[in-house]
Amino acid sequence: MHENFAALQSAAHADAIPDWPARAERLRLLARMLRSNRHRFAAALNRDFGQRPQAETDLAEVFPALDGIRHALRHGKGWMRRRPVGTGLWFRPARAHIQPRPLGVVGIVVPWNYPIFLSFGPLTAAFAAGNRAMIKLSEHAPAFAETFAEAAARHFSPDLLSVVTGGPELAEEFTALPFDHLLFTGSTAIGRKVMQAASRNLTPVTLELGGKSPALIAPDAPLEQAVDRIMTGKLLNAGQTCIAPDYVLLPRGQSDRFIALARDWVGRHYPKLAANPDYCRIINDAQFARLADWLEAARAGGAVLHPLSEAPPDASARLMPPMIVTDPQGPLAEQEIFGPILPLIPYGKLREAADHILARPRPLAFYPFSRDEETLRLLLATVAAGGVSVNDTLLHIAQHDLPFGGVGDSGMGAYHGQAGFDRMSHLMPVFRQAEWNGAGLLAPPYGARFRMLIRAMLRL
């Protein structure tokens, strides 16, 4: 790993500012790597999860990754251009501009839940910005990690892209390398450790974390439509999504109808759940046990569990059926769930629902449902979240012109599209002095002329 990092650094120093044709070729190589290995990646993820449908991998990972590369190829040359900015009145006729420059070597730590999208997305930003990259894949998806590493070695030279696989100790060593930028996607607890390791080298970080992302159904919102969009976002990847709706705030008295609609939705979209090939499994035994323990703790604390399917949990197959929980207790009420379990929390007045969100760390995503513009304005002005989809879930992450990132406990920094290019670049400010200028008028000795000029300059 250290030898590969040194090779990346040496290559970055030798070719500090690659031109657009070189960057575009790297992006095309990235697209070819994904297209030619699409089925192998999906098969590897199916082995890692125990069951992960190819259709879900194509929709949630391959499509947005390829679309992001296409977007960068269309716009990257324009992102590279110098950006003229104004100069202050007293400095004219000098000129100023911002010149994007590559940072050098970018480190990327990839989680297990969406490893295709969360590898290729950051790599798109890194390559478009002219960087080289070293990527650490999750030990919890070993089949994918092995397949990705082999594919990367066939498509890229190791002084352009280097892949690291291994467990937590190697991850600690990886995050301690003196990268020019480090992007981590994962839990808030591990994010704190990553930031601490990076701080020893003053490495800037982008942290894409998580948290309890709420869906809020306003009194005027059509409940059936809200249930449809919330359940779609919740059960993708069996809820193992950092921006999945974690819990639902809904008007008091609507819980029973929500549960009935959700049960009907599951029956239509995932019939015969235990044998359904479209329903993803939980990634490993430890995650399955955690979810089962949290459900039992909630039940013991007085919560009511509402199964949405006839299928019981099956630890041997890591099948966790969708479940709604009312009166949530314990970790389900306090921790990010990361599974197909959905607490319902009724509220009286809309302000009560907003206050519930404000009393907790800022979420990675927020999903307000309302047809009333005044209600939406109020909610968007009140709730701070990493990103928002109005009257839907998840879809803001797929918009290339929207930066994706967290705020507070849910992360720092954002990428995707030009925001990713800028995040992986040094936006170098450049001031160009004019041949004829008045800078000398302000040099010592500070006599009458200086006093006259400074009086004029200090006027508001």
Span 109-134, pLDDT tens digits: 999 999 999 999 999 999 999 999 99
Q: Say what the pLDDT of residue 441 is.
A: 87
Instruction: Produce one character per residue of 281-292: b if its CB has 16 or more CB atoms within 10 Å, e if not.
Output: bbbbeebbebbe
The whole-angstrom separation of Cα 106 and Cα 128 is: 12
pLDDT at residue number 301: 95
Cβ(218)–Cβ(368) under 8 Å?
yes
3-state secondary structure 379-407: HHHHCCCCEECCCCCCHHHHCCCCCEECC
Residue 460 above 80 pLDDT?
no
pLDDT band of residue 459 (cuts 50, 70, 90) is confident
304-307/161-164 β-pairing:
unpaired
123 close to 420: Cβ distance less than 8 angstroms: no
pLDDT recorded at residue 442 = 87
Question: What residues pair up with 215 in beta bridges, in sequence order?
Answer: 248, 367
Structural domain spans, the chain = 2-209+408-428, 214-401
pLDDT tens track for 383-426: 999 999 999 999 999 999 999 999 999 999 999 999 999 999 99
Burial of 270 (0-12, 13-18, 19+ CB in 10 A): buried
Tokens at 136, concatenated: 């650490």
Look over the chain and give the mean of its residue pLDDT values, rounded to a whole number.
96
On the question of pLDDT at 323 being above 90, the answer is: yes
Give the distance, in angstroms, between the CA of residue 19 and the centroid of all CA atoms in the same chain: 28
> How far, in Å, CA of 242 to CA of 410, rounded?
10
Share of the chain above pLDDT 70, in %: 100
Is residue 324 scored above 70 in pLDDT? yes
**pLDDT tens digits, one per residue of 134-162:** 999 999 999 999 999 999 999 999 999 99
**Segment 162-221, tens digit of pLDDT:** 999 999 999 999 999 999 999 999 999 999 999 999 999 999 999 999 999 999 999 999
* CA nearest neighbour of 14 among 171, 159, 138: 159
Amino acid at position 252, single letter: R
SS (H, E, C) the chain: CHHHHHHHHHHHHHCCCCCHHHHHHHHHHHHHHHHHHHHHHHHHHHHHHCCCCHHHHHHHHHHHHHHHHHHHHHHHHHHHCCEEECCCHHHCCCEEEEEEEECCEEEEECCCCCCCHHHHHHHHHHHHCCCEEEEECCCCCHHHHHHHHHHHHHHCCCCCEEEECCCHHHHHHHHCCCCCEEEEECCHHHHHHHHHHHHCCCCCEEEECCCCCEEEECCCCCHHHHHHHHHHHHHHHHHCCCCCCCEEEEECCCHHHHHHHHHHHHHHHCCCHHHCCCCCCCCCHHHHHHHHHHHHHHHHCCCEEEECCCCCCECCCCECCCEEEECCCCHHHHCCCCCCEEEEEEECCHHHHHHHHHCCCCCCEEEEECCCHHHHHHHHHHCCCCEECCCCCCHHHHCCCCCEECCHHHEECEECHHHHHHHCEEEEEEEECCCCCCHHHHCCCCCHHHHHHHHHHCCC
Buried b (16+ CB within 10 A) or exposed e, 124-138: bbbbbbbbbbbbbbb
Q: From CA 188, how far away is CA 207, in angstroms rounded?
A: 9
pLDDT tens, 2-14?
999 999 999 999 9
Predicted confidence band of residue 380 (pLDDT cuts 50, 70, 90)? very high
Domain 2-209+408-428 belongs in CATH node 3.30.70.1290: no
- At 421, list the tokens: 């290019």
Q: How would CATH label the architecture of 214-401?
A: 3-Layer(aba) Sandwich (3.40)
The predicted-structure confidence for 226-240, as pLDDT tens digits, reads as follows: 999 999 999 999 999
Q: How far apart are CA 236 and CA 102, in angstroms?
A: 36
pLDDT reading at 368 higher than 70: yes
Of 3-17, 92-106, 275-289, 434-448, the range with the lowest mean pLDDT is 434-448
What's the rounded Cα separation, in Å, for the pair 249 and 321?
22
Residue 392: per-residue pLDDT: 98
Q: Which two tokens stand for residue 114?
A: 């969406």
**pLDDT on residue 192:** 95
**Predicted pLDDT of residue 119:** 98
User: What residues are labeled active site?
Assistant: 208, 242
Percent of the chain beyond pLDDT 90?
Answer: 97
